[in-house]
Amino acid sequence: MNEKQMISGSEILIRSLIREGTDMIFGYPGGAIMPVYDALMNHTDSIDHVLVRHEQGATHAAQGYARASGKVGVCLVTGGPGATNTITGIADAMLDSTPIVVIAGQITTDLIGTDAFQEVDFTCVTQPISKWSYQISCPEEISRVVARAFFVAKSGRPGPVVLSVTKNAQVGMAEYIHEKVSFIRSYDDDPEIDMDAIEAAADAINHAQRPFVLAGQGIELGNAQEEFRTFVEKADLPFGCTLLGLSVLPSSHRLNKGMLGMHGNLCNNVKTNECDVLVAVGMRFDDRVTGNVDTYARQARIIHLDIDASEINKNVHADIPVLGDCRKTLKLITERLLPANHGKWISSFAQYDREEYEKVVSKELHPKEGPLNMGEVVDAVSRACGAGAVLVTDVGQNQMMAARYFRFSEKRSIITSGGMGTMGFGVPAGIGAAFGRPDRKVCVFTGDGGLQMTIQEFGTIMERRVPVKIILLNNNYLGNVRQWQELFFHKRYSFTRLDNPDFQILSSAYGIPSKRVIDRKDLMPAVEEMMAEDGPFFLEACVAEEGNVMPMIPPGGTVDNMLMEC
């Protein structure tokens, strides 16, 4: 006779997480999640728990972990304020399609609706900013709901899932039942491919004289990097990358023309409005890419490959929508492509690269005098860390400069907050990335503003000796906003000047070795010292206070009309 073995909901939760492949949790305990933390102690051989210093840090770390490793990131937090502290990270993961599961404690079911201590209707709060949010109210449903949560987070267009677990579900007893979810009838994670669309897309590309491809993060999320490579190589298609798609193929690939959008490369933005066929792959025509949509690629036939039907025709009308998993759709289209040679068209990009080099890049990377530029610091770090490094950034000028001047050699090498632009993302996301890919070097570029938004995570780095290289591009300004003030608000620097602490002293308080660089001649030695260090390192580069990120499409401007100088 089989006797039911009753265990606590908390125990079921942990076992379910292990079953789903969780070996890492970023979390912070509190009253409403204590039973789960207690159960976690029995499983420290299977799950490594990283104690962060703020729950927002837990979510960004889980994001960094997920994006570096390709696995689902997991956060564990208490209810009330612990839960609400994760909101920024959940919203960020939603906009950037990052698979994370956030598990938050919740007060006992009987007390819900009484304004009990730390009661927040977290399911309701997070529904609009998550892919799925659900409250677990009894131990019996835990195993199945966790299975569903992981399936939802990582399938289709990935995204954050939120589970609130009531105290009574954590302490109640039930039997652990092995559950697996690979299908939800109301949720089409793998849309059926329309072969007519495939034919139409291939036909349009085969007839194109001036084809141009936009590469988005969907290629990384769909693990379609090789399919994408064959696609562009077979038909000789030049491509530009979105911020999140920068590492789909190496920066050095001959067809890779760099970044798109507001601070992207001039040639891409000019050619967007010259091409005859524009193929968008796993990208969503964000306004930071398109500028004014009314003047965006009007001359081109637009082919849009995406797994999310709600992205098709959302911002830009698709003449040929190709719904589906791009790993499959790219392969099907490529099979129908005729080998082509677009040499003449591709070489027409070079003139704009030259113009950008003369007017922007050479000044940024090779100044003769004056203070350090952000770009030259990024360039030095990128060269010193060699192939295989992961770039993590914060938000602002530091982010744009890192994206512009860092060179990528491997897939899944850029982790940055694209959709939300969340200041404070960098350091905790870097921690997550370092745990997700301990075999790769992780470089975090941050600003003096953003660093101070999650600087408490230095504590996590200290405790776990997380081997992240943090490079602060210190301009003593909220530089990105200052740049806009300079350009669009008559240089009225309203509250963007920062009176900063001594970051090196701060860093040494956490036992993190550091270096400050002011002079150009000290840059390379300091970078090399940082790279030689096995553990964490903090490098402060004091850069030009009023440097600008150029070129730029002014907000609402037209893609092919980039500002080159100001």
Partner 1 sequence: MEQTALYTIIVHSENFSGILNQVAAVFTRLQVNIESLNVSASSLPNVHKFTICCRTTEKNIEKILKQTVKKLDVISAACYTDKEIFSSEIAMYKISTNVFDDSESLSRLLREYNTHVVEVTPEYIVVELTGSGEDITELREKLQELGCIRQFVRSGRIAVTASNAEKVSELMEKREQIGNKRQL
- Return the H-helix or E-strand segment holding 203: helix 195-207
Does 422 contact ligand TPP by CB under 6 A? Answer: yes
Does 420 contact partner 1 by CB under 8 A? Answer: no
Does 344 contact partner 1 by CB under 8 A? Answer: no
Tokens, residue 214: 């936009």
- Return the H-helix or E-strand segment holding 365: helix 362-365
**Cβ 533 to Mg ion shortest distance, Å:** 24
How would DSSP label each residue in 139-201? GGGHHHHHHHHHHHHHSSS--EEEEEEEHHHHHSEEE--------BTTB-SSPPP-HHHHHHH
Q: Figure out which of the listed residues 185, 368, 490, 521 binds partner 1, where binding follows CB under 8 A.
A: 185
Does 89 contact ligand TPP by CB under 6 A? Answer: no
- Binding partner of residue 347 among Mg ion, ligand TPP, partner 1, none, CB under 5 to 8 Å per kind? none
Note the Cα 32 to chain centre separation in Å: 30
Q: Are strands 537-542 and 211-215 parallel, antiparallel or unpaired?
A: unpaired
Site for partner 1 in 112-131 (CB under 8 A): 123-124, 127-128, 131
**Cβ 370 to ligand TPP shortest distance, Å:** 18
Q: Figure out which of the listed residues 186, 252, 341, 494 binds partner 1, where binding follows CB under 8 A.
A: 186
Positive or negative CA dihedral for 485, 491, 496, 501?
Answer: positive
Q: Beta-strand (E) ranges in 167-319?
A: 173-175, 211-215, 239-241, 256-259, 277-281, 301-306
Helical spans, DSSP H, in 366-478 = 374-385, 397-405, 426-436, 448-451, 458-464
Tokens 């990120």 correspond to 549
**Cβ 556 to partner 1 shortest distance, Å:** 19
Give the CB-nearest residue to ligand TPP. Answer: 447
Site for partner 1 in 30-59 (CB under 8 A): none
Does 397 contact ligand TPP by CB under 6 A? Answer: yes
First CA to last CA across the chain, in angstroms? 81
| Site stretch for ligand TPP (CB under 6 A), options 37-45, 213-221, 256-264, 421-429 | 421-429
Tokens, residue 224: 């379609």
Helical spans, DSSP H, in 489-546 = 503-509, 520-532
Count residues contacting partner 1 (CB under 8 A)?
Answer: 20
Give the CB-nearest residue to Mg ion. Answer: 447
Site for Mg ion in 416-435 (CB under 5 A): none
Q: How far apart are CA 203 and CA 215, in angstroms?
A: 20
- Binding partner of residue 309 among Mg ion, partner 1, ligand TPP, none, CB under 5 to 8 Å per kind? partner 1
- Taking CA atoms, 235 is separated from 204, 230, 250, 328, 340, in Å, by 12, 9, 18, 17, 5
Q: Figure out which of the listed residues 105, 240, 479, 536 binds Mg ion, where binding follows CB under 5 A.
A: 479
**Cβ 244 to ligand TPP shortest distance, Å:** 16
| Site stretch for Mg ion (CB under 5 A), options 56-64, 212-220, 233-241, 442-450 | 442-450
| Site stretch for Mg ion (CB under 5 A), options 11-19, 356-364, 447-455, 460-468 | 447-455
Tokens 């995570």 correspond to 457
Site for partner 1 in 299-328 (CB under 8 A): 308-310, 312-314
| Site stretch for Mg ion (CB under 5 A), options 227-235, 431-439, 468-476, 538-546 | 468-476
Q: Figure out which of the listed residues 159, 449, 467, 536 binds ligand TPP, where binding follows CB under 6 A.
A: 449
Q: How far apart are CA 176 and CA 336, in angstroms?
A: 50
The DSSP call for residue 337 is P
Does 217 contact ligand TPP by CB under 6 A? Answer: no
Q: How would you write 41-101 as a 3-class SS string?
A: HHHCCCCEEEECCCHHHHHHHHHHHHHHHCCCEEEEECCCHHHHCCHHHHHHHHHCCCCEE
What x-and-dash track marks residues 481-510 binding ligand TPP by CB under 6 A? x-----------------------------
CB-hemisphere CA count at 13 Å for 446? 29
- Binding partner of residue 123 among Mg ion, partner 1, ligand TPP, none, CB under 5 to 8 Å per kind? partner 1
| Cβ contact 376:402 at 8 Å | no
Does 480 contact ligand TPP by CB under 6 A? Answer: yes
The residues that touch ligand TPP, with contacts defined as CB under 6 A, are 394-398, 421-423, 447-450, 473, 475, 477-481
The residues that touch partner 1, with contacts defined as CB under 8 A, are 123-124, 127-128, 131-132, 152, 182-188, 308-310, 312-314
The residues that touch Mg ion, with contacts defined as CB under 5 A, are 447-448, 475, 477, 479
